Amino acid sequence: MNILLWARPTLSWMSVTSGQGHKFVLPVGASGSIAADLWHRVQNDFVSYMPAKTPRRPFGVLGSASASNEAILDALFTLIAWLATRR
């Protein structure tokens, strides 16, 4: 399983994970720019990018510009731990 964490991603990385089974996109939309665009893309079509029952609340934190660094890291670690058990 590969999990990509992006603070400043490029759109080419999105194609790397598309349809790749156990590769997941975790864009940190709170960082703005392209990451925010990718976060919105995943958020708006969550079921196409994430496995069933992936917790949405921590993913939502990744898109919050008002979230603290601690909250963003906690959300990332929560998602990574959850995704790691879904191989």
Going by pLDDT thresholds of 50, 70 and 90, the confidence category of residue 15 is low
Question: 64-81: per-residue pLDDT in tens?
Answer: 999 999 999 999 999 999
Q: Which domain holds residue 73?
A: 2-84
User: How many Å apart are CA 63 and CA 42, to the nearest integer?
Assistant: 10
What lies within 8 Å, CB to CB, of 58 at 6+ separation is 74, 75, 76, 78, 79
Domain count, the chain: 1
Supply the DSSP symbol for 55. -
Question: 22-60: per-residue pLDDT in tens?
Answer: 677 788 888 877 788 889 988 999 988 888 899 999 999
